[in-house]
């Protein structure tokens, strides 16, 4: 069946897209930081958390899967939530829910309640992720999309630094989650007070808004490139999160590095995501999103291979991998309206967020099973295999989009 998106006009950044109001952009950056803060902490906290609750290595999968189911559900409901609630109120409520979940992480006495808290974090984060990415894809240009995801990386880089500092000082993993929860609570109040900023025009002198979804979710799922993007997001987040969450355990328990050194390399991994997104924001409009995505997926395979070789200093593989992954998520999101059509882009973004969440749940959890059955040494080759799949899928997706442009 020929895809309806072939008849959709390409979505190009306009003057109104490239110059959003400062207050709105500030809120967007704060929201992306709030998404990143708790996401990368589990990998550093995991050995201590595992000891507290008496879990096996595969137990990380229970946490990731529980949060991912809630995140996945939230992504599927994204289109309806954006219609039912104003964006500002949705962000405030969702951020507050994440803060509540983090408070649960810091206080609950049993692992079952820890999983309940993971549900709160997953559902709130999924709503924030879907709503913000759809809004940014239609209202901001690719430059700001990369920088907004760089803001996510700021949060992702600061989280492990905070947790490592507290662990090395004997404060415990619960203290780290308590501090992050307090920060998210303050952000939730900020979004509540300034919720009407999202309903005003994107620019001070214009009237541009992100287009509301007009097509149905079923219509989105009839388009082949929606499914290709779903699969690509699944493997992208699988690579990013498996490397981020398991590298600390691999380095300390398999390769013998000390806590501070391993925590530093993990922080540098997330920091390289930040640096890559800042840099790509400067060059994406000159190089083009498609070219950047092709090069990044290929370079990610190289970085994963280097990390899989024990004799190579871990900083080389992790930093290269993080740098290569940096522009992929924002680039794919920025291209979504052009590739699938603005009429279904909100639904497509929600499905992509859900697929990304499934990747977070399935592929790092599979790494835990691999570590439990065959040993931690096999986690890095698992990352390589996922990176290869990411590169192949994006190649197919890119070729499909290129054929559509030439018709």
Residues 241-275: pLDDT tens digits? 999 889 988 998 888 888 888 888 888 898 888 88
Q: How confident is the model at residue 379 (pLDDT cuts 50, 70, 90)?
A: very high
Q: Residue 10: pLDDT above 70?
A: no
What pLDDT is recorded for position 306? Answer: 96
- Average pLDDT for 55-73: 82
**Sequence-ordered list of residues with C-beta below 8 angstroms from that of 215, at least 6 positions apart, any chain:** 341, 343, 344, 347
Q: How confident is the model at residue 17 (pLDDT cuts 50, 70, 90)?
A: very low
What pLDDT is recorded for position 20? Answer: 63
Nearest to 65 by CA among 122, 21, 18: 122
Class of residue 55 by CB neighbours under 10 A (exposed 0-12, middle 13-18, buried 19+): middle
> For the chain, what is the mean pLDDT?
82
Cβ atoms within 10 Å, residue 351 = 26
Which has the higher per-residue pLDDT, 58 or 161?
Answer: 161
Nearest to 46 by CA among 256, 263, 322, 239: 263
Q: Residue 393: pLDDT above 90?
A: yes
Give helix 328-340 / helix 259-287 axis angle, nearest 10°: 40
Dig out the tokens for 39 from the structure: 């996401």
- pTM of structure: 0.73
Give the span between the Cα atoms of 145 and 32, in whole angstroms.
Answer: 11
Dig out the tokens for 38 from the structure: 């708790």
* Selection from 259-268, 297-306, 392-401 with the highest mean pLDDT: 297-306
| pLDDT tens sequence across 71-128 | 888 877 877 777 777 778 888 889 999 999 999 999 999 999 999 999 999 899 888 8
Note the CATH architecture for domain 20-206+218-406. Answer: Up-down Bundle (1.20)
Token match 């620019």: residue? Answer: 203
The percent helix, strand, coil of the chain (3-state, each to 5) is: 80, 0, 20
Give helix 379-406 / helix 328-340 axis angle, nearest 10°: 30
Nearest to 333 by CA among 318, 355, 362, 359: 355
What pLDDT is recorded for position 205? Answer: 41
Q: Residue 172: pLDDT above 60?
A: yes
* pLDDT above 70: percentage of residues in the chain: 88
What pLDDT is recorded for position 99? Answer: 94
What pLDDT is recorded for position 8? Answer: 40
Ranges of each domain in the chain: 20-206+218-406
- Average pLDDT for 208-220: 59
Dig out the tokens for 30 from the structure: 């704060």
C-beta of residue 310 within 8 angstroms of C-beta of residue 299: no
Q: Residue 200: pLDDT above 70?
A: no
Q: Would you state the torsion angle of the CA atoms of residues 18, 39, 244, 315, taken in this order, to the nearest 10 degrees?
A: 70
What pLDDT is recorded for position 214? Answer: 54
- Average pLDDT for 7-29: 57
Report residue 378 CA to chain centroid gap: 24
Q: Residue 403: pLDDT above 70?
A: no
Phi and psi for 90 in degrees, rounded to 5?
-60, -40
Dig out the tokens for 64 from the structure: 């990731």
Q: How confident is the model at residue 9 (pLDDT cuts 50, 70, 90)?
A: very low
What pLDDT is recorded for position 6? Answer: 35
Give the span between the Cα atoms of 263 and 244, in whole angstroms.
Answer: 11
């Amino acid at each position: 069946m020929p895809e309806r998106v072939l008849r959709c006009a390409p979505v190009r950044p306009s003057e109104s897209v490239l110059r959003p109001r400062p207050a709105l952009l500030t809120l967007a950056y704060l929201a992306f930081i709030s998404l990143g803060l708790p996401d990368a902490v589990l990998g550093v906290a995991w050995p201590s958390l595992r000891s507290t609750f008496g879990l096996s290595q595969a137990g990380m999968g229970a946490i990731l899967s529980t949060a991912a189911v809630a995140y996945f559900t939230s992504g599927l409901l994204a289109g309806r939530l954006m219609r039912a609630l104003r964006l500002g109120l949705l962000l405030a409520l969702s951020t507050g829910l994440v803060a509540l979940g983090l408070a649960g992480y810091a206080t609950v006495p049993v692992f079952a309640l820890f999983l309940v808290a993971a549900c709160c974090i997953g559902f709130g984060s999924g709503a924030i992720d879907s709503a913000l990415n759809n809004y940014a894809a239609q209202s901001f240009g690719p430059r700001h999309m990369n920088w907004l995801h760089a803001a996510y990386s700021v949060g992702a880089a600061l989280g492990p630094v905070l947790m490592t500092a507290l662990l090395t000082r004997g404060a415990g993993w619960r203290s780290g989650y308590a501090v992050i929860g307090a920060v998210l609570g303050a952000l939730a109040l900020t979004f509540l007070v300034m919720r009407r900023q999202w309903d005003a025009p994107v620019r001070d002198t214009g009237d541009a808004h992100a287009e509301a979804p007009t097509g149905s979710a079923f219509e989105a799922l009839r388009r082949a490139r929606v499914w290709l993007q779903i699969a690509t997001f699944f493997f992208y987040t699988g690579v990013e999160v498996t490397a981020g969450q398991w590298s600390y355990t691999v380095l300390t328990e398999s390769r013998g590095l000390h806590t501070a050194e391993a925590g530093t390399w993990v922080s540098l991994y997330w920091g390289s995501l930040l640096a890559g997104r800042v840099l790509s924001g400067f060059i994406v409009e000159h190089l083009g999103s498609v070219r950047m995505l092709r090069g990044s997926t290929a370079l990610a395979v190289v970085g994963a291979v280097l990390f899989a070789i024990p004799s190579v200093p871990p900083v080389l593989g992790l930093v290269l991998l993080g740098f290569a992954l940096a522009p992929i998520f924002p680039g794919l999101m920025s291209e979504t309206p052009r590739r699938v059509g603005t009429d279904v882009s909100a639904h497509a973004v929600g499905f992509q967020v859900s697929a990304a969440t499934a990747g977070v749940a399935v592929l790092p959890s599979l790494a835990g099973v691999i570590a439990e059955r065959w040993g931690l040494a096999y986690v890095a080759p698992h990352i390589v295999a996922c990176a290869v799949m990411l590169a192949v899928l994006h190649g197919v997706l890119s070729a499909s989009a290129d054929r559509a442009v030439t018709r």
